[in-house]
């Protein structure tokens, strides 16, 4: 069903359960077809076609929240197979044999997993969307080009072993933005000396958005889309908030600051400004010297 003209442009976020076999872009396109033409749509946090689970699609003014949602903590449940390696670091690539996984005990596996908790340097997969000299790494890899990927600092809060059955392993991960589960599994396999590739991946949450409340993409219609669209304020988490009057919202829209000297803001603190309906209207920053809350990003709807 194609989006028609003349309908009011909706704004908000969709918590969708992406199926295997679709790219994140495929999901965005499916949403776009159900909306009025020229409605902006974007996704926060790419999932590979192999992966399933929570994918947040931002609609209308909420597309300006993509980076905010991407920065949220994420949870995953991943399957992996010991004893093999692949060029993509998952089961979809060219697989080669590794070491014998039979010698790996559950205790060894748990010890190795604990070493991946905390802040660490991680090299992204060769088949990834990371930019290398202006090109995507996966384009260079598909062209069989030689290139080096720079390690990036990532934060892994927890890695928990859920199941270990011979060469089949299942783990649960909570991590920060930019963490590649495929890379973690690849590095785990090298730490164990036998190799490992990811066989499945389910994203269980992004920030406040849970898999349990996600709408399966297969159930997307014009009606379910509108009915499941979440307000932009749902993305705020523990952000400091300020309830603004209609006049104050107009001032922010015009680029003027708000004199809020009675508020206890720290210098440079980012503040989520809510309108008189309780919806997110803007992000602003408190300047102690000027005693003004200055607009950073206004969400025009």
Q: Would the pTM count as exceeding 0.95?
A: no
Statement to judge: residues 197 and 251 lie in one domain: no
- The DSSP result for 89-119, as a single string, is SBTTS-EEE-S-GGG--HHHHHHHHHTT-EE
The answer to the question of residue 270 being in a domain is: yes
The CATH number that applies at residue 262 is 2.30.130.10
Whole domain around residue 102: which residue ranges? 75-202
The CATH number that applies at residue 147 is 3.30.2350.10
pLDDT given for residue 1 in this prediction:
36
Structure tokens that stand for 273 in this block: 């400004």
Statement to judge: residues 197 and 151 lie in one domain: yes
DSSP 43: E
- The dihedrals phi and psi of 159, each to the nearest 5 degrees, come to -130, 120
Per DSSP bridges, beta strands 292-298 and 280-287 are antiparallel
Statement to judge: residues 261 and 151 lie in one domain: no
pLDDT given for residue 7 in this prediction:
58
- Residue 72 known to be catalytic: no
Statement to judge: residues 278 and 179 lie in one domain: no
Statement to judge: residues 168 and 87 lie in one domain: yes
Statement to judge: residues 150 and 256 lie in one domain: no
89, 197 Cβ separation under 8 angstroms? yes
Domain count, the chain: 3
Active-site residue identified among 48, 89, 90, 187: 48
The answer to the question of residue 94 being in a domain is: yes
**Cα–Cα distance for residue pair 13/162, rounded to 1 Å:** 31
The answer to the question of residue 249 being in a domain is: yes
- pLDDT by 10s per residue, the chain, length 301: 344 444 577 899 999 999 999 999 999 999 999 999 889 999 998 999 999 999 999 999 999 999 999 999 999 999 999 999 999 999 999 999 999 999 999 999 999 999 999 999 999 988 878 888 888 888 888 888 888 888 999 999 999 999 999 999 999 999 999 999 999 999 999 999 999 999 999 999 999 999 999 999 999 999 999 999 999 999 998 889 999 999 999 999 999 999 987 778 889 999 999 999 999 999 999 998 888 999 999 998 7
Statement to judge: residues 57 and 132 lie in one domain: no
Structure tokens that stand for 223 in this block: 């009606």
Statement to judge: residues 52 and 98 lie in one domain: no
* Apex 86 CA angle, 80 and 90, nearest 5: 40
The answer to the question of residue 1 being in a domain is: no
The answer to the question of residue 40 being in a domain is: yes
Statement to judge: residues 67 and 85 lie in one domain: no
Statement to judge: residues 181 and 95 lie in one domain: yes
């Amino acid at each position: 069903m194609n989006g028609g003209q003349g309908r009011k442009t909706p704004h908000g976020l969709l918590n969708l359960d992406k199926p295997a076999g679709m790219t994140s872009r495929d999901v965005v396109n499916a949403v776009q077809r159900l909306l009025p033409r020229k409605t902006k749509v974007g996704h926060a946090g790419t999932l590979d076609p192999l992966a399933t689970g929570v994918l947040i699609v931002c609609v209308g003014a909420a597309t300006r929240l993509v980076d905010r949602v991407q920065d949220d903590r994420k949870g995953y449940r991943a399957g992996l197979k010991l004893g093999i390696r692949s060029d993509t670091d998952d089961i979809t690539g060219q697989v080669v044999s590794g070491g014998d996984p039979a010698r790996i005990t559950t205790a060894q596996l748990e010890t190795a997993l604990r070493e991946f908790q905390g802040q660490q340097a991680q090299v992204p997969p060769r088949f990834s969307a990371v930019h290398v000299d202006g090109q995507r790494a996966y384009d260079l890899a598909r062209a069989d080009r030689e290139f080096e990927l720079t390690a990036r600092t990532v934060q892994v809060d927890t890695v928990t072993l859920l199941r270990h059955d011979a060469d089949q392993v299942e783990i649960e991960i909570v991590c920060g933005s930019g963490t590649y589960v495929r890379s973690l599994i690849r590095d785990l396999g090298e730490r164990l000396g036998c190799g490992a590739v990811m066989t499945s991946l389910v994203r269980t949450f992004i920030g406040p958005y849970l898999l349990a409340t996600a709408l399966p993409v297969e159930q997307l219609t014009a009606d379910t889309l509108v009915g499941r669209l979440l307000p932009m304020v749902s993305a705020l988490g523990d952000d400091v908030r300020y309830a603004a009057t209609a006049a104050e919202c107009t001032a922010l829209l015009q680029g003027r600051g708000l004199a809020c000297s009675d508020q206890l803001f720290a210098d440079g603190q980012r503040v989520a400004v809510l309108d008189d309906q309780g919806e997110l209207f803007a992000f602003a920053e408190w300047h102690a010297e000027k005693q003004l809350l200055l607009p950073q990003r206004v969400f025009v709807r």
